[in-house]
Structure 1
Amino acid sequence: MIRIPPEQKTHRRYEIAEHFLRENIEGGRLPTGFVLLEGPIAEILQISRAPVQRALAKLEADKLVHRFNGRGFLVGSQDMGVAPNRSDIKALGLIIPQHVDEALQSRSSWERIYNTVEHDVAGCVVFGLYRIVEIELADHFKVSRTVVRDVLSRLQERGLVRKNQSSHWIAGPLTAQSIKDHFSLRRMLEPSALIAGAAHISNAKICELFVRMTNLEATAQEGHSDKLEELQRQMIDLCVLATPHERMRELIRNNLLPVTAAERLLRHLGLPDDPTTITEMRLVVELLMRGAVAAAAAMLEAHLDASMKRMIAQLKIVAVLPTPTATADYLTRLGDVTANPVPGRLSGPDTDPHHS
């Protein structure tokens, strides 16, 4: 059994996830062949998916889990040849060891509510302009105003909220122009990051990703959207975030937050994915696999241009949908942000309509 040294006062989130999974695998509570998905694990531990992904990669390196032709990881080594068990992980009654529970409890309060607030905010900005009231947010989560300000400051750093001229916290609206701005930054950063990090990309992993993309491209099976989202994230992680430039990685991640949140929401609204998306991504990976780094960067730029146009077209559809009636009670809709005939804009101005 792995124990964290008692003198260690802080714990990285991926270490918390790794210890939780490792002890349940070694204790037999996670059976061989069980399918591990990032989302449900993140929900159990109340952390984001990124540290769970890193924890699973560490367990994969230790041959406690392995990838297969499907979403997630299978418990056990690859040579065991077991069939996937897709039961609900929450029904297994997994044990959170004491040292893991203590590590979770010691995380600062803002971290424990951050993911939920980020999800709530990202889910509403497609539909208009919203104000976040600090005292209502604090009451909603039963936390202090200091904790709320920590959360909102981090959301501001990532471009999901801002303060208007009246010092009110504002989120949205997601407009055609804001999408263009995000993708302009993506075109500046991501192809350059791909070139800078090409020498650091694992050839085995890029070949594996190519095979998975090719398989998805050749089929139209149920769950295509989830698989596409997973492969898109893996392509970014493997091909773009391999750059050794830490600041560039941080800028790319933060700029991607509102984009990926919007893409996920559009999928949840039932808007279909364009089948050319996986083809574009597969070409990027294939060119990298063949050593054509400059061509892969050019293909990535073309993919980003096409993705921007697809998202703007989908936003035009959303503009005529009714605004959701259920949002978090600390989010207050401001004014009537609807379709705008001005080219390139799908909603009202990026200001607080209550401020002249």
Structure 2
Amino acid sequence: MLANAGSSNKQQQEGRAPRYVMIEASLREAMRARRLPANMILLEGPIARLFGTSRGPVRKALELLHEQGLISRFEGRGFLATPDPDAVTPTREPLTPEMLGLDIDERPAVDTRPAAERIYAQVEEAVATCLAFGHFRIVETVLSEHYGVSRTVAREVLGRLRNQRLIEKDRHSHWLAGPLTAQAVAEDYEIRVLLEPAALKASGPLLEHGELEAMRAEVRHLIDHPECQSAAAILRLEQGLHQRCLRHYRNRKAREMIAQSQLPVIVNRIFFQTLGVPPDEPLLMEHKLVLDHLSFGAYDAAASSLQSHLQAAAERTRRRLKVLSVFPEPDLPPYLVKIT
């Protein structure tokens, strides 16, 4: 099972390859197939527009191709699509999608989100994964190079992770992640047991009946169809019960404390990704009971059931963290450096 999980994780990482990897591969293939003339000047701006990206990923892709000896610098600005610049007469021919093998229907959609928003989920996933496997330093410069973004963008992403208590800064201004300890998980559950039932009791009457019925239907479907149970499906359930169902709670400070006490979710997500969802996972029936009470307007009973669920989940998570501690460290991005 672990081997299959490792293969799946690797495929997921490949599916989330940084933009510069895709751009580098496209340019290399275009030169190999001779769609790009050897005397063509390659500039960051036109390439970025065709790929719907900023210049950062394009700059890194061109630098890599230059390091590999596939292209050459042109008068300090841009590159020539050849390793032998003396053998060609440079031309400023317009770059077209066809030259790069980008048919109109297959051209990448322009992602207008800010750079920090585009990479945040990938960085969060990598950091969350490393937490259970020791103490890591996050190298800001390597992170920015890995995703082809500026140091400012990298710092913005890391700042958001710090606000979520996933990472911290030491006295030397180094970004650190982990180790995720049983004590830290226990403290988070203690906070959640104290705050979430009260938040649910206050928020429950403001939830729409249709929304609750949709959540109940999803839980019943997973209970009746174990083959559909996955780490992603469980994460959706957890977000539904512990975030969406609490969102009408008016105590802003308490909501923030709940949001910053989600380390247990990371443990269970990594556990399910590594070993799969256990048969007869009790979380499903516990969620169903809470949602049933909410649907029928029994808010005191819903709060009590949520408290029981969190207390049982605390013990399960403690055991799962212990199991994870004996597994080998997964493949991680180069900006995560383990501290020995």
1:127 is displaced (CA, Å) by 0.6
Query: 1:187 is matched with which residue?
Result: 193
Whole-angstrom CA distance in 2 between matches of 1:211 and 1:282: 9
Query: In structure 1, the residue corresponding to 2:212 is in which secondary structure?
Result: helix
The C-alpha deviation readout for 1:166-221, integer Å capped at 9, x for no partner, is 33110011111111122122112211110111220112322332243234334433
1:114 is displaced (CA, Å) by 1.6
Query: In structure 2, the residue corresponding to 1:127 is in which secondary structure?
Result: coil
Paired residues of 2:144 and 2:150 also in contact (CA < 8 A): yes
**2:288 pairs with 1:276:** no
Matched letter for residue 208 of structure 2: S
Query: 2:267 is matched with which residue?
Result: 262
1:227-238 equivalences in 2 (<5 Å)? 227-238=233-244
1:41-56 equivalences in 2 (<5 Å)? none
**Structure 2 stretches lacking a partner, 5+ long:** 1-51, 54-104
Paired residues of 1:130 and 1:171 also in contact (CA < 8 A): yes
1:84-123 equivalences in 2 (<5 Å)? 101=110, 104-105=111-112, 107-123=113-129
**2:211 pairs with 1:209:** no
The C-alpha deviation readout for 1:31-59, integer Å capped at 9, x for no partner, is xxxxxxxxxxxxxx99xxxxxxxxxxxxx
Matched letter for residue 317 of structure 1: V
Query: 1:173 is matched with which residue?
Result: 179
After TM superposition, the score normalised by the length of structure 2 is 0.63
**2:337 pairs with 1:332:** yes
The C-alpha deviation readout for 1:272-310, integer Å capped at 9, x for no partner, is 335221111111111122222112111101101111111
| Fraction of identical pairs, as percent | 32
Whole-angstrom CA distance in 2 between matches of 1:246 and 1:334: 36
- The alignment of Structure 1 onto Structure 2 pairs a total of residues equal to 237
Equivalent of residue 196 in structure 1, options 192, 202, 206: 202
Whole-angstrom CA distance in 2 between matches of 1:94 and 1:235: 38
Query: In structure 1, the residue corresponding to 2:226 is in which secondary structure?
Result: coil
Query: 2:312 is matched with which residue?
Result: 306
CA RMSD of aligned residues (A): 2.6
Whole-angstrom CA distance in 1 between matches of 2:329 and 2:214: 41
**2:138 pairs with 1:132:** yes
Paired residues of 2:222 and 2:228 also in contact (CA < 8 A): no
Paired residues of 1:271 and 1:314 also in contact (CA < 8 A): no
- Evaluate the alpha carbon distance shift between residue 306 and residue 114 of structure 1 in structure 2; reply closer, same or farther with a 3 A threshold: same
The C-alpha deviation readout for 1:221-252, integer Å capped at 9, x for no partner, is 34355433323322234422232444444443
Matched letter for residue 260 of structure 1: V
Query: 2:163 is matched with which residue?
Result: 157
Query: 2:292 is matched with which residue?
Result: 286
- Evaluate the alpha carbon distance shift between residue 115 and residue 224 of structure 1 in structure 2; reply closer, same or farther with a 3 A threshold: closer
Whole-angstrom CA distance in 1 between matches of 2:230 and 2:273: 13
Greater CA radius of gyration, 1 or 2? 2
Query: In structure 1, the residue corresponding to 2:205 is in which secondary structure?
Result: helix
Paired residues of 2:203 and 2:245 also in contact (CA < 8 A): yes
Whole-angstrom CA distance in 2 between matches of 1:171 and 1:225: 22
Query: In structure 1, the residue corresponding to 2:132 is in which secondary structure?
Result: helix
1:121 is displaced (CA, Å) by 0.6
Query: In structure 2, the residue corresponding to 1:174 is in which secondary structure?
Result: coil
Whole-angstrom CA distance in 1 between matches of 2:218 and 2:150: 46
Whole-angstrom CA distance in 2 between matches of 1:311 and 1:174: 12
Equivalent of residue 153 in structure 2, options 147, 150, 165: 147
1:115 is displaced (CA, Å) by 1.6
Equivalent of residue 318 in structure 1, options 320, 324, 330: 324
Q: Which runs of 4+ in 1 moved over 4 A?
A: 93-97
> Bigger shift: 293-302 or 135-144?
135-144
Paired residues of 1:185 and 1:255 also in contact (CA < 8 A): yes
Paired residues of 2:229 and 2:277 also in contact (CA < 8 A): no
Matched letter for residue 114 of structure 2: S
Whole-angstrom CA distance in 2 between matches of 1:267 and 1:260: 11
The C-alpha deviation readout for 1:107-151, integer Å capped at 9, x for no partner, is 433222222111111111111110011222222223222222211
Paired residues of 1:197 and 1:239 also in contact (CA < 8 A): yes
Whole-angstrom CA distance in 2 between matches of 1:221 and 1:242: 33
Paired residues of 1:206 and 1:238 also in contact (CA < 8 A): no
